[in-house]
């Protein structure tokens, strides 16, 4: 492919201007936004203002003056807009793991005559660990876990599980589930559905209300660019809110937390899922980072993310030296999220060699090299350059340097 074609693609990209909203380090091509989104300029400014003025000068008056107390709901409303959900159904709080514990508990309350949680064998491990932990707490007669391969999930619904727990995007392969179809099939069997949208929100068009989704969780630090350890979010369909009682009955979920009553009286709405005091600095950063989505459409984001992935595969196919990378993601862009995964025996070392050369990708055990395509800040030229660097690394085998094989604590 001629480089001039790449230049033309960037020149006609309606999202190209959004790159200026991010602080991408000079000399780096960041293909890891699917793991940790980069810093936005608005988030940097908000963090500084929150620390220097709101905390530094206004102190505890900021709970009212700067509306700290409302951040879980106002930030949740911004995320709701990215998921096709009414704002009254989303709250920003805690972590994916904690929120999943809450939602699983609620779903099992609603399904008192059932106990099985059906999930995918290669679902993100923490989702499975939470089910296991709840099973240990409640006993297997009240909560048990059944794992199936992706192709066996639909037939397994005939066993009428209490809950179907799935990630829309497989974190390893990026293979997509059809939320609408699986939710409908689950409901036909009386099964409630919890979707993990950590690799979906901010990059895939979602219609949770239209699809009649029951519950959903997701993180704030991937495509939402909320920073490391950013608060997560959860979604509960309005039809369930009056019939559930989440188990972590902390004071922020109380109807009147500042009355300091000795007994718990839960809020009626989505704020009943709050627990402890919200982490104001990190939530303020996430709230500000979400502003980058205010003038773009999810259709634009999805179209460009597919284009970026297709370009990567096309350029890869033009280089015979890259044949040793075995594609583990669906070839059809419509069937995958915004990343590509390749298997290679030296995937970790290659990821480290790429990083040393200015291309940030990531590794997933045991042998996967992942490239993420965040459409808000990546250019088509970035993809072109990353392929040139990857070709060189594999051609001269620099990844065989022992320094690139030393495993870090976080991989």
> Domains of the chain, with CATH numbers?
3-30+297-405 (3.90.1150.10), 47-293 (3.40.640.10)
- The residues facing 296 across adjacent strands are none
> Cα–Cα distance between 407 and 403 in angstroms, integer?
9
Tokens 């988030």 correspond to what residue?
43
What's this model's pTM, rounded to 2 decimal places? Answer: 0.97
Pairing of strands 339-343, 362-364: unpaired
Q: Which helix (H) or strand (E) holds 90?
A: strand 90-92
Give the per-residue pLDDT at 323.
83
Per-residue pLDDT of the chain (411 residues; tens, 9 = 90+): 778 899 999 999 999 999 999 999 999 999 999 999 999 999 999 999 999 999 999 999 999 999 999 999 999 999 999 999 999 999 999 999 999 999 999 999 999 999 999 999 999 999 999 999 999 999 999 999 999 999 999 999 999 999 999 999 999 999 999 999 999 999 999 999 999 999 999 999 999 999 999 999 999 999 999 999 999 999 999 999 999 999 999 999 999 999 999 999 999 999 999 999 999 999 999 999 999 999 999 999 999 999 999 999 999 999 877 789 999 999 999 999 999 999 999 999 999 999 999 999 999 999 999 999 999 999 999 999 999 999 999 999 999 999 999 999 998
> Cα–Cα distance between 291 and 203 in angstroms, integer?
15
- The residues facing 118 across adjacent strands are 146, 164
**CA dist 15 to 9, 40, 295, 344, Å?**
11, 15, 10, 33
Asked if 18 and 296 touch (Cβ cutoff 8 Å), the reply is yes
Tokens 């409901």 correspond to what residue?
187
Backbone φ and ψ for 37, nearest 5 degrees, come out as -70, 150
Asked if 119 and 128 touch (Cβ cutoff 8 Å), the reply is yes
Asked if 389 and 354 touch (Cβ cutoff 8 Å), the reply is yes
Q: What is the DSSP letter of 229?
A: T
Backbone φ and ψ for 405, nearest 5 degrees, come out as -100, -5
Give the per-residue pLDDT at 411.
87
Number of Cα atoms under 13 Å in the Cβ half of residue 43: 26
Task: For Cα atoms 128, 332, 350, give the angle at the middle one, nearest 5 degrees.
Answer: 65
Q: Which helix (H) or strand (E) holds 239?
A: helix 238-241
Give the per-residue pLDDT at 319.
85
> Cα–Cα distance between 221 and 122 in angstroms, integer?
22
> Cα–Cα distance between 99 and 234 in angstroms, integer?
6
Give the per-residue pLDDT at 403.
95
The catalytic residues are: 124, 196, 221-222, 370
- Of 122, 96, 119, give the one whose Cα is nearest residue 364: 122
């Amino acid at each position: 492919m001629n480089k001039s074609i790449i230049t033309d693609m960037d020149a006609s990209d309606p999202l190209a201007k959004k790159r200026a909203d991010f602080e991408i380090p000079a000399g780096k091509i960041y293909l890891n936004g699917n793991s940790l989104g980069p810093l936005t300029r608005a988030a940097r400014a908000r963090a500084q203002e929150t620390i220097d003025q709101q905390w530094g000068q206004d102190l505890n008056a900021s709970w009212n003056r700067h509306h700290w107390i409302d951040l879980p709901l106002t930030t949740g409303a911004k995320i709701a807009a990215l998921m096709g959900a009414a704002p009254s159904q989303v709250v920003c709080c805690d972590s994916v793991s904690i929120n999943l514990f809450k939602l699983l508990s609620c779903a099992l309350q609603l399904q008192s005559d059932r106990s099985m949680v059906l999930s995918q064998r290669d679902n993100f491990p923490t989702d499975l660990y939470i089910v296991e932990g709840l099973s240990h707490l409640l006993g297997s007669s009240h909560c048990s876990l059944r794992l199936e391969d992706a192709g066996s999930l639909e037939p397994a619904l005939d066993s009428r599980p209490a809950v179907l727990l799935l990630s829309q995007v497989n974190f390893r392969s990026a293979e997509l589930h059809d939320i609408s179809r699986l939710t409908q099939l689950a409901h036909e069997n009386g099964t409630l559905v919890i979707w993990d949208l950590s690799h979906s929100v901010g990059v895939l068009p979602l219609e949770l209300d239209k699809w009649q989704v029951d519950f959903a969780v997701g993180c704030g630090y991937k495509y939402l660019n909320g920073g490391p350890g950013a608060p997560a979010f959860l979604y509960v369909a309005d039809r369930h809110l009056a019939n559930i009682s989440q188990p972590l009955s902390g004071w922020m979920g109380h109807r009147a937390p500042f009355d300091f009553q000795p007994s718990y009286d839960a809020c009626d709405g989505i704020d009943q899922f709050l627990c402890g005091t919200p982490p104001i600095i990190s939530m303020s950063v996430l709230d500000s980072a979400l502003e980058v989505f205010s003038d773009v459409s999810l259709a634009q984001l999805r179209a460009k993310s597919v284009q970026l992935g297709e370009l990567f595969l096309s350029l890869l196919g033009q280089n015979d030296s890259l044949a040793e990378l075995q594609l583990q993601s669906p070839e059809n862009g419509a069937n995958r999220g915004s990343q590509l995964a390749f298997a290679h025996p030296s995937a970790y070392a290659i990821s480290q060699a790429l990083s040393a050369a200015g291309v940030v990708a990531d590794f997933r055990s045991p042998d996967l090299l992942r490239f993420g395509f965040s459409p808000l800040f990546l250019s088509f030229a970035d993809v072109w350059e990353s392929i040139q660097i990857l070709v060189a690394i594999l051609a001269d085998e620099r990844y065989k340097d022992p320094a690139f094989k030393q495993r870090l604590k976080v991989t």
